[in-house]
Structure 1
Amino acid sequence: MEDKNYLVQKKKKKKSALKAVWVILLLAVIFIVVVAKFALSGGDDVTAIFSGMPSSDDVYAVSKQFVLPTLKGSGAKFSDDGYQFGKKQDSVFVIRSVVETTLNSGDMQKTNYEIMLRYKGGAANNQNSYELLNLNEE
């Protein structure tokens, strides 16, 4: 009788140990995925890893960083409420907006621009997370 109880107990212990091994393996896989995603994103912003695609405001803010060095004049004033946002393909965004600058002569110059950016991943508000595909200024 004692041998039978021993075998039953051994079987139960084996079953619970196997469940524990599966739980540990699952946690290890989750940990590896999170670490890999963090490593591939560049590690700039932990919250950006899980946020998905950038918002239109994020893309617009980055577009200003790309446009600013190309402008003639100084004192650039971007139209924060008047931009148009579009998505061409997966991770490719188009922004149309207006910027006003002051020329050396003191005159104000209004420049319409259209910029196409590809989001490469990482922090949504970081210029290094984007690739400039096209920039048209009129």
Structure 2
Amino acid sequence: MYTKFKRYFVIFIITSFFQFLYDMKYLGYLSPCLETDELCCVNLSDVRWKLLNPKVWTVDRTVHVELKRSLRMTEATWLREELFPYFEQAYCRFSFDFTEIESIDSSGFGILLAIRKKAKEQGGGIRIYGLRHEFEARFDFSSLFED
């Protein structure tokens, strides 16, 4: 029993490693390293961010944001840097897709409240959809759903 589990675990680790190498090559991190004999240094947080980064696009003067996995300090900082310039371009409506969000911390709630406040000042607002049931109480408490 134990050896069977050990065998599957080793196969899982090897498969995960090769998937990681494939992702690194796809993102362009390995190609410069393979062309030279120099040791290649990779910032793993950059790789993680490129794999899980939010997608942002605009349709009909609305900024749509599709978030991945979590909304924590790193993502909140990125959202501030990415979304606040839209206010200068007269965008004041924001739509957030939370279908893939698994965790949110206080900085995630903070950036959503800041975006909501700025949008309301300019006559717009935010819309959140795909919210998991376990987050609804926290969103009600944070007054994000109030108009």
TM-score by length of 2: 0.29
Q: Which has the higher contact order (CA 8 A, sep 6+)?
A: 1
| Bigger CA radius of gyration | 1
* Greater strand share, structure number: 1
* Greater helix share, structure number: 2
TM-score by length of 1: 0.30
